[in-house]
Structure 1
Amino acid sequence: MTASRIPEDAPGASPTAAGASVQVTLPDWIDDVVDWERPYRTDEERMRLAIALSRENVARDTGGPFGAAIFEEASGRLVAVGVNSVVRLNNSTLHAEMVAFQFAQARRATFSLSAEGLPTHTLATSCDPCAMCLGATLWSGVRRVLCGATRDDAMLLQFDEGPVFASSWAYLKRKGLEVRRGFLREEAVEVFELYRQRGGAIYNG
């Protein structure tokens, strides 16, 4: 997946210069952890995959304690996954949900996962989305959202989750999204504790 990047050897160069690009990649361990062939039919299976991604991201020192996955709701087919890649790729926008959205939309060849002819999609994320990711969730086209750890849990770890309010969640629901929060919360929070013990970077604290 490519966009625009100023080459390191060209200080002050225009980001639109020919050949400029940004690569968004998943860590090389993803295929060791993710079973792309099996269906994830229950909410528990979907959330546990998101939490497993967050845990591996911490254990393998490839990013923050956040993981996300996107599924076809009816079939349980896994469409895309994401892990927090802010520090690994030096990009403040690469939260787990944002990475999952980008790969899912690239796979579907559409900017909206609710485009005509597509099945309903569900996002499972190991933590409540931050302000950026909550907005992206609305625009992504997913119709169901499963969240593990809470915003307060992330803030206790000193992450800044931005301006997310009760009215923000109410807005998503008014737009027709089904939201389930605090789901398998204890399992998700265990990853935060692992991150704390390992001295993980609080990159936006």
Structure 2
Amino acid sequence: MIDIAGEYRLSLPAWIEEELADVPAVVPGREDRMRLVHRLADRTWREGDGGPFAALVAEEDTGRIVSVGVNVVLASDVSSAHAEVLALALAQTAIGGWDLGAEGLPSHELVVNWRPCVQCYGAALWSGVRGLVVAGAGPELEQLTTFDEGPLPDDWAEQFEARGIKVTGDVLRDEAIAVFRGYREAIDAGKVTVYNARGGSD
């Protein structure tokens, strides 16, 4: 008999409960939702769980927070354990279905502290969200963090729009870059592990 693992689990870090203790269930302002994302992104790398990334899913109209996610690649030893993946999966678990855009549901938006990597691009496209809110989309993320975000097409935002997913960019962009700069300082000081895809064959 082949001896293989039969399941794996991804969980939010224990500190999330403490971090969300002062956050109301409804956060009506889009910038306030992004501020929460930045806060979580900064803490997750400082806790050693993964890269400086966080996301949340909220009801677009009300601002009710449905789920949050942070990068837990290092904590879980699972390379796909990105913030968007956790936030989307936990939101789908919360509504009891795989389609966040199903008939009868409120419109949901995914709020992320930068444009998605190539993996999370697909995850967001197929999740059913009706909105994607990002802090930024330029080269600063890869330049500062040294992460390889993958071969995302130049028309990535247009592809979301073509599928009925409205993209809102540059929401608290400078604050996102400040988190990445803090992470870069830790890289330069040898204080963090940068997990990464291989950019080419060895």
Same fold (TM over 0.5): yes
CA distance in 1, matches of 2:108, 2:162: 18
Q: What is the Cα deviation at residue 150 of structure 1?
A: 2.6
Q: Is the 8 A contact 1:26 1:82 kept in 2?
A: yes
Partner residue of 1:202?
194
Partner residue of 2:15?
29
1:169 and 2:169 are equivalent in the alignment: no
Q: What secondary structure does 1:166 align onto? A: coil
1:13 and 2:7 are equivalent in the alignment: no
RMSD of aligned alpha carbons: 1.6
Q: What secondary structure does 2:155 align onto? A: helix
CA distance in 2, matches of 1:148, 1:189: 9
1:122 and 2:122 are equivalent in the alignment: no
CA distance in 1, matches of 2:71, 2:93: 18
Moved more, 109-118 or 193-202: 193-202
CA distance in 1, matches of 2:17, 2:183: 22
Partner residue of 1:89?
76
Instruction: Give me the identity figure in percent.
Output: 36
Q: What secondary structure does 1:76 align onto? A: coil
Q: What secondary structure does 1:26 align onto? A: coil
Q: 1:78 aligns with which of 42, 57, 65?
A: 65
Q: Is the 8 A contact 2:49 2:73 kept in 1?
A: no
Partner residue of 2:29?
42
Q: What is the Cα deviation at residue 149 of structure 1?
A: 3.6
TM-score (norm 1): 0.87
In structure 2, list runs of 5 or more residues that go unmatched.
198-202
Q: What is the Cα deviation at residue 203 of structure 1?
A: 0.8
Segments ≥4 residues shifted beyond 6 Å: none
Would you say how many aligned residue pairs link Structure 1 and Structure 2?
191
CA distance in 2, matches of 1:135, 1:202: 23
Q: What secondary structure does 1:171 align onto? A: helix
Partner residue of 1:6?
none
TM-score (norm 2): 0.89
CA distance in 1, matches of 2:9, 2:91: 16
